Each structure stands twice: as structure tokens, then as C-alpha cells.
């Protein structure tokens, strides 16, 4: 046992953790310290390494380098079970309990009170009720867990974790599916646990909540530690700067500066378009030959906006117009019919078909648009594939190569080609430059500009603010699933975007 001052000083100490997956370095020499009785927020954008760090700490992933010390003792985790026994418990966003078992069984699985080899059901239920009462929960513990709301399942998971004599509790996006009232209950429980000396790691992308509950904040970016600060002394704009990073040079829109603003035709417009619990209603006009950037933090509603615009998600209010004509936009099919294209963020799972060839991937959307009874002749296919391979400089220039064998940047180009082949009027690109190397990066940006000069309307999502600033004619800034600001022309610069993201707002009601 450590002296109490020592254990208060540092409960969990993570030093120099590195972890690679193949060639991808997910974590590079990350440090993290957690004090007893503190609530410590772990923040970072997509791909920053938050979940990898958690999985390394909890022993789900083996670490390549570094060490983890809990209360001064080295934790050499071989299995998730060993870490659990050491006193580090994790509650994931998707509740990791068994909905088919009773609440009581979930709380005491594998450690039920026994007598003569038989589970003492009555005793177990009594203990379960007593345990949950500590968390302000009064429910029938004999009913299957799946019968209860996600909030109750979360509290059950936390109760189980704490009861397993947890000294460290890691909560991974615990509030993502809770409403405001449930969040308050959860925060109450977290404060109570912290008072008992448990160290809590809180992962969330709701900054308001982070400021409300956390004592300290650690920020990761691209697998590296950016910094560790006291929440009270960290300005919101500073925090966002840490998360989005870059040596924020004051770049202004290259396009806005070089092109005079000639009036352009409206390609598509959206009026009061939205879906409750998804994105607040917004107005958006997209012009031919114009790039509109969507900026905001992870979870701010960028992808959600894109999916509504394309029809991948069905809006429950508002009106969409294409070239001024009101249209129905209920499914991706509708979107394709109106000449929209959508390159999703998850290339691997939602975009390319890795086993099919470059040619087959390119003609996919065009074929779908024409319908199955009008097959594209092979000769036609070859010609289309060759044209786009040349135009977008897809390498290697072999249309018959399976797309899965191409690099990330070239996969992205194939995806672009697929939509370009349908001659769209509007193209929605979600993080087109994510996970591709620097060379391909600038090429994609060049392509975006060229397409735009050809009269295409583009809606582009990116976490890279510099990038957005470089190619956008207008930038829509989102926060908490609401469009909060629209910047145009000279006003487009990183500072203004950051200010719009960081602006304090009464913004809790949307993410229910």
C-alpha cells in the first residue's frame, strides 16, 4: 500500500505507450496520468488514438512499448480479465452486458453468491437491489436487462464495474445515447464515485459536458499526446486548437481571393431541412461551380448533414429543391436520380467493393442509375474506366486490378470516378483526404478545384481546417448538430472557424 498522499498524486500512470497496426502508428509515446478521485477527460478527434489508448490500458490490445502503473504497481496486462482484476474497469458506449440475462445475473455473473453449488437467487437479488439503490435506481432486478432503457443499462454496467472493486473507471462516450436528464443522473453518480476516491476517465466529444464534469483534460491528436491541462484554466478556443491542431497559420481562402464573385446558378437548395435527434433544421444553398465546406468537431453533425442532403437519411421536415424545383429526397436512389453523388467517410465499409476491379467499381453507380435491364456493354465499361483512370491519374493504371490492392488515395479516386461517371450536378465528399498520404492529399484537393471549375457543386466535409480554408467558397460551421454560422469570402479563415466552433451556446437539447 502506498501512503495516501502518493496515491492521491497518481493513481494510474501511463508512460511512453506506443502501438502500431501494420504500418499505421496508432499511438506514439503517449503519457497519461490519472489521480485518485478526479474526473479526467480524454479528448481528440477521430483517429486521434483515444480508443486505442483505452484498449491498450485495458489489455485488449498488447502494447508495443511503454508501461502502465496502477497505484505504483506495474500492470502487465495479458488479458482483459487480468486488468479487470487489477482494478481497471471500462464501460463502453455500447453497453457490454447481456440483455438476455436478468439485471441481477448481469451484476453478479461469475461471482454469484453460492451455497452447496447452487446460486442463492434471493440473496443475489437482495444484493443487486442494494447495489443499485446506491446509484438511485429502483427497478425489478429479476427482469431481463434488455427490457430497460440504455441509461439504466449504463448505470447497471457502472454499478457492476464499481462493485468489482474498481479503482479506475473508464467511461467511453457514456452520454452519447442519453438525454439531458439521464446525463445529469450519470454525472451525479460520477461525482459520487470520484468522492470515494475512484479515478474516472471520461471520453466524450460533447465539450459542454467535458467542461461541466471534468477536473483535467488530456488531448490526443494523430496518436500523439498534445497536452494535459486543468479544465478550469483551459479556454475553450485553446482546447479546440489543441484538438484540431496544426500550426494554425492565418491562411485565408485561396479561392475567395483569386476568384471574383460572379453570381452563379443555384444547383440545389434545402430549406428548414432536418431530422429530429439527428440534425437541427438548416438552410443550405449549393451553387454550381462552388465548394461549400462543412466544418465542426467530431459529432457536430457534419456527416449527418451530408447524409440528409444525399438522401441516405430521410429528413422529417423541410423542403429540398433541385434547380429550383421541389423534389422528394427519401432514399439514396432519389439522390442519385437527381444527380447527387456521395463519397462516404468509411471508404472501406461503405464505399469501395474491395474484391471487384477498378473498372467494376467505377461503373457501379452508373449501372445502378441506368437500371439492371440496360447493362453497360463491356466495351463501354472499358472506355469509361480508361477515361477516369487517365483523368484522375489512378495508379497503377490497370482497370482490372482489384480495388482492395490500391493505396488509400487511389481508392478515393476510384470512388470519385464512380460518381463522376454518372455526371452528377452535386457531389458530397466526406473526409476525402483522410488516411491518404501527403502527395495524394494535394492531388485530391487539386481535383476538387478542377471539378468545381467545371461547374459541379461540391459539399466537402473535412476535419483539416487549413484544407477547408484552401478550397471552400463558403464554410458552414456546425456545433452540437446545429448549423451555427456561415462564412464567405474574406471571412473564411481558421481563426473565424475556430471562434464559431468554440462559441458558447445553450446547446444541450439537440443530441437527445
Choice between 142 and 376, CB closer to another protein:
142
User: Smallest distance from the beta carbon of 147 to another protein, in angstroms?
Assistant: 5
**Residue from the set 8, 10, 119, 510 that interacts with another protein by CB under 8 A:** 119
Distant-in-sequence contacts of 275-279, Cβ < 8 A, 24+ apart: 275/304, 275/308, 275/313, 275/314, 275/315, 275/316, 275/317, 276/316, 276/317, 277/510, 277/511, 277/512, 278/304, 278/308, 278/313, 278/481, 279/304, 279/305, 279/308, 279/481, 279/482
Location of C-alpha cell 444525399: 310
Choice between 96 and 272, CB closer to another protein:
96
Compute the Cα dihedral for 346, 350, 354, 360 and give only its sign. Answer: negative
Q: Could you tell me how many residues of this chain bind another protein (CB under 8 A)?
A: 44
Stretch that binds another protein, among 114-122, 233-241, 264-272, 289-297 (CB under 8 A): 114-122
Phi then psi dihedrals of residue 225, to 5 deg: -75, 125
| Contact flags string 179-218 toward another protein, x per CB under 8 A | --xx-xx--xx--x--------------------------
Choice between 160 and 511, CB closer to another protein:
160
CA distance 210 to 19: 27
User: Smallest distance from the beta carbon of 116 to another protein, in angstroms?
Assistant: 10
Asked if residue 478 lies in contact with residue 498, where contact means CB atoms within 8 angstroms, the answer is: no
The number of angstroms, rounded, from the C-alpha of 24 to the middle of its chain's C-alpha atoms is 19
DSSP 348: I
Choice between 104 and 492, CB closer to another protein:
104
Asked if residue 88 lies in contact with residue 57, where contact means CB atoms within 8 angstroms, the answer is: yes
Choice between 121 and 271, CB closer to another protein:
121
User: Smallest distance from the beta carbon of 173 to another protein, in angstroms?
Assistant: 17
Outline where DSSP puts E strands in 335-479.
340-343, 426-430, 457-461, 474-479
**Residue from the set 8, 10, 80, 510 that interacts with another protein by CB under 8 A:** 80
CB-based burial, 91-115: b 16+ in 10 Å, e otherwise? bbbebebeeeebbbbbbbeeebeee
Task: Determine if 172 is a binding residue for another protein (CB under 8 A).
Answer: no
Within residues 289-318, the interface with another protein by CB under 8 A covers none
Choice between 149 and 276, CB closer to another protein:
149
User: Smallest distance from the beta carbon of 481 to another protein, in angstroms?
Assistant: 23
Choice between 55 and 418, CB closer to another protein:
55
Choice between 175 and 482, CB closer to another protein:
175
Which segments of 311-404 does DSSP mark as H helices, in order? 332-337, 358-370, 378-391
Task: Determine if 448 is a binding residue for another protein (CB under 8 A).
Answer: no
* Peptide bond just before 179 cis, omega within 30 deg: no
**Three cell numbers written together for 272:** 428548414
User: Smallest distance from the beta carbon of 129 to another protein, in angstroms?
Assistant: 13
**Residue from the set 109, 235, 257, 405 that interacts with another protein by CB under 8 A:** 109
Choice between 130 and 353, CB closer to another protein:
130
CA distance 300 to 304: 9
**Three cell numbers written together for 351:** 464505399
**Residue from the set 8, 10, 101, 248 that interacts with another protein by CB under 8 A:** 101
User: Smallest distance from the beta carbon of 155 to another protein, in angstroms?
Assistant: 7
Asked if residue 481 lies in contact with residue 275, where contact means CB atoms within 8 angstroms, the answer is: no
Outline where DSSP puts E strands in 276-379.
279-287, 290-295, 317-322, 325-327, 340-343
Stretch that binds another protein, among 111-119, 193-201, 362-370, 441-449 (CB under 8 A): 111-119
Choice between 160 and 307, CB closer to another protein:
160
CA distance 366 to 372: 10
Within residues 130-169, the interface with another protein by CB under 8 A covers 133, 135-139, 143-144, 146-152, 155, 160
**Residue from the set 18, 46, 112, 319 that interacts with another protein by CB under 8 A:** 112
The site for another protein (CB under 8 A) is made up of 80-81, 84, 96-101, 105-106, 109-112, 114, 117-119, 121, 133, 135-139, 143-144, 146-152, 155, 160, 181-182, 184-185, 188-189, 192
Amino acid at each position: 500500500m502506498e501512503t495516501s498522499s502518493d496515491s492521491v498524486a497518481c493513481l494510474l500512470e501511463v508512460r511512453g505507450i506506443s502501438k502500431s497496426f501494420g504500418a499505421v502508428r496508432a499511438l506514439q509515446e503517449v503519457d497519461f496520468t490519472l489521480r485518485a478521485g478526479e474526473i479526467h477527460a480524454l479528448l481528440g478527434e477521430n483517429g486521434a488514438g483515444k480508443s486505442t489508448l483505452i484498449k491498450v490500458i485495458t489489455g485488449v490490445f498488447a502494447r508495443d512499448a511503454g508501461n502502465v502503473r496502477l497505484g505504483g504497481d506495474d500492470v502487465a496486462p495479458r488479458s482483459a480479465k487480468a486488468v479487470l482484476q487489477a482494478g481497471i474497469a471500462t464501460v463502453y458506449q455500447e453497453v457490454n452486458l447481456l440483455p438476455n440475462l436478468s439485471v441481477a445475473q448481469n451484476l453478479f455473473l461469475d461471482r454469484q453468491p453460492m451455497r452447496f453449488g447452487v446460486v442463492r437467487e434471493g440473496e443475489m437479488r437482495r444484493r443487486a437491489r442494494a447495489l443499485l439503490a446506491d446509484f438511485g435506481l429502483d427497478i425489478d432486478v429479476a427482469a431481463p436487462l434488455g427490457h430497460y432503457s440504455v441509461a439504466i443499462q449504463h448505470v447497471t454496467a457502472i454499478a457492476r464495474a464499481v462493485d468489482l472493486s474498481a479503482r479506475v473507471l473508464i467511461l467511453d462516450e457514456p452520454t452519447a445515447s442519453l438525454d439531458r436528464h439521464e446525463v445529469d443522473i450519470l454525472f451525479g453518480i460520477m461525482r459520487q464515485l470520484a468522492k470515494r476516491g475512484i479515478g474516472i476517465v471520461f471520453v466524450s466529444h460533447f465539450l459542454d459536458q467535458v467542461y461541466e464534469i471534468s477536473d483535467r483534460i488530456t488531448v490526443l491528436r494523430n496518436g500523439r499526446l498534445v497536452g494535459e491541462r486543468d479544465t478550469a484554466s483551459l479556454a475553450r478556443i485553446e482546447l479546440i486548437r489543441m484538438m484540431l491542431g496544426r500550426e494554425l497559420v492565418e491562411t485565408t481562402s485561396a479561392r475567395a481571393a483569386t476568384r471574383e464573385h460572379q453570381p452563379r446558378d443555384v444547383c440545389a437548395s434545402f430549406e428548414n431541412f432536418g431530422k429530429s435527434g439527428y440534425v437541427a433544421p438548416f438552410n443550405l444553398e449549393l451553387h454550381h461551380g462552388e465548394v461549400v465546406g462543412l466544418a465542426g468537431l467530431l459529432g457536430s453533425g457534419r456527416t449527418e448533414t451530408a447524409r440528409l442532403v444525399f438522401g441516405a437519411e430521410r429528413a422529417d421536415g423541410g423542403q429540398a429543391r433541385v434547380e429550383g424545383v421541389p423534389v422528394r429526397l427519401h432514399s439514396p436512389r432519389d439522390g442519385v436520380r437527381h444527380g447527387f453523388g456521395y463519397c462516404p467517410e468509411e471508404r472501406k465499409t461503405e464505399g469501395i467493393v474491395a474484391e471487384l476491379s477498378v473498372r467494376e467499381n467505377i461503373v457501379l453507380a452508373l449501372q445502378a442509375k441506368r437500371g439492371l435491364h440496360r447493362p453497360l456493354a463491356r466495351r463501354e465499361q472499358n472506355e469509361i474506366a480508361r477515361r477516369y483512370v487517365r483523368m484522375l491519374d489512378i495508379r497503377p493504371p490497370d482497370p482490372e486490378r482489384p480495388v482492395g490492392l490500391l493505396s488509400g488515395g487511389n481508392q478515393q479516386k476510384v470512388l470519385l470516378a464512380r460518381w463522376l461517371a454518372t455526371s452528377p450536378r452535386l457531389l458530397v465528399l466526406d473526409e476525402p483526404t483522410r488516411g491518404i498520404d501527403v502527395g495524394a492529399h494535394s492531388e485530391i484537393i487539386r481535383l476538387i478545384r478542377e471539378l468545381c471549375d467545371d461547374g459541379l457543386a461540391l459539399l466537402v466535409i473535412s476535419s483539416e481546417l487549413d484544407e477547408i480554408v484552401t478550397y471552400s467558397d463558403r464554410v458552414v460551421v456546425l456545433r452540437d448538430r446545429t448549423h451555427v454560422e456561415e462564412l464567405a469570402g474574406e471571412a473564411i479563415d481558421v481563426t473565424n472557424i475556430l471562434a464559431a466552433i468554440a462559441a458558447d451556446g445553450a446547446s444541450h437539447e439537440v443530441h437527445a
